[in-house]
Amino acid sequence: MKVLRFLKNNKQFTVFLLLALAIAAIAVFAPWIAPRDPYDAVMSDSLKEPGSTYVWGTDKLGRDVLSRVIYGTRSSLTMTLCLVAVIFVVGTALGILAGYFGGAVDAVIMRIADMMISFPGLVLAIAIAGLLGPNMVNAVIAISAVSWTKYARLARSMVLKIKQNLYIEAAVVTGTKRGSIIMKYVIPNMITTMVVTAATDIGTMMLELASLSFLGFGAQAPTPEWGLMLNEGRTYISKAPWLMIYPGIAIVVVVVVFNMLGDSIRDILDPKQE
């Protein structure tokens, strides 16, 4: 009952949560939803227009675009969630260390962070992905390397603020161990803001991954990945626009849903809104 009432009171959140779950379900149940094997190349059906046989048409090699877009949800979603999880954990942890211990630790971590943000993010990510070699995992590593700083800075400033509170001083005076102070008093007071940041970041990160794939530094052929599909379809834009339209729509829809979900979560969790 409590859950239901909560969902009823936060209609926007409910709607987008359902949509996000639907997207996740598409990813999980892709083999049952997709009409065809996304890798199955029927070369005689190259560049078939959308119609009754192929609802969203076929690509150059005669692969079903609809199936590929559906399977694309899998790679896009898992990679994005991994990416956000990595930068959330790494960034927050480093930020807490820097903020709580200060001094040399702070200087080292934050100067590295400064170095990272002194380049345009995507350009540096391209450089890193280029160095590591193009594949999905390296794309995640590359974007993580340039995106963790945001979390580190946020976490650090929050820790600095929390540290000045009397309850922290009290804990220190009563001889609580550092680990316990961080786990029991610091993290619980900042975690909501961090989660909100992570939630609103999902859409952006998905776009960045797709951009890397589009530029050829992320997923490699024949993986069905939206960014890569856009790139493959680019050559045939005047002849077979469906190759770009459908993956494009997929990206827009999923990014909008996750952005709105992130916004709703922020509205609910952000204490300032209350």
Q: Decide if residue 235 touches other proteins (CB under 8 A).
A: yes
Contact residue for other proteins among 220, 241, 248, 268 (CB under 8 A): 220
Question: CA-CA distance, 52 to 40, in Å (whole number)?
Answer: 18
Alpha helices in 63-186 (DSSP H): 65-101, 103-117, 121-132, 136-163, 166-173, 178-180
Contact residue for other proteins among 121, 216, 241, 248 (CB under 8 A): 216
Alpha helices in 164-241 (DSSP H): 166-173, 178-180, 187-214, 226-234
End-to-end CA distance of the chain: 22
Residues in the chain: 274
| Alpha-carbon Rg for the chain in angstroms | 22
Nearer to other proteins, 53 or 235 (CB): 235
Contact residue for other proteins among 107, 119, 234, 252 (CB under 8 A): 234
Cis, peptide link before residue 222, omega less than 30° from 0: yes
Q: Decide if residue 271 touches other proteins (CB under 8 A).
A: no
118-137 mask for other proteins (x: CB under 8 A)? ----------------x---
Stretch that binds other proteins, among 108-116, 190-198, 229-237, 263-271 (CB under 8 A): 229-237
8 Å CB contact between 186 and 159: yes
Chain positions 151 to 190 lying near other proteins, rule: CB under 8 A, are: none
Nearer to other proteins, 203 or 233 (CB): 233
CB of 154 to other proteins, least distance (A): 20
Q: Decide if residue 222 touches other proteins (CB under 8 A).
A: yes
8 Å CB contact between 154 and 196: no
Nearer to other proteins, 50 or 216 (CB): 216
CB of 62 to other proteins, least distance (A): 8
49-68 mask for other proteins (x: CB under 8 A)? -----------xx-------
Nearer to other proteins, 8 or 239 (CB): 239
Q: Dump the DSSP string for 136-156.
A: HHHHHHHHHHHHHHHHHHHHH
Stretch that binds other proteins, among 67-75, 154-162, 169-177, 231-239 (CB under 8 A): 231-239
Question: CA-CA distance, 110 to 244, in Å (whole number)?
Answer: 41
Nearest by Cα to 47 from 248, 201, 237: 237
Footprint on this chain of other proteins (rule: CB under 8 A): 39, 41, 43-44, 46, 60-61, 134, 216, 220-222, 234-239
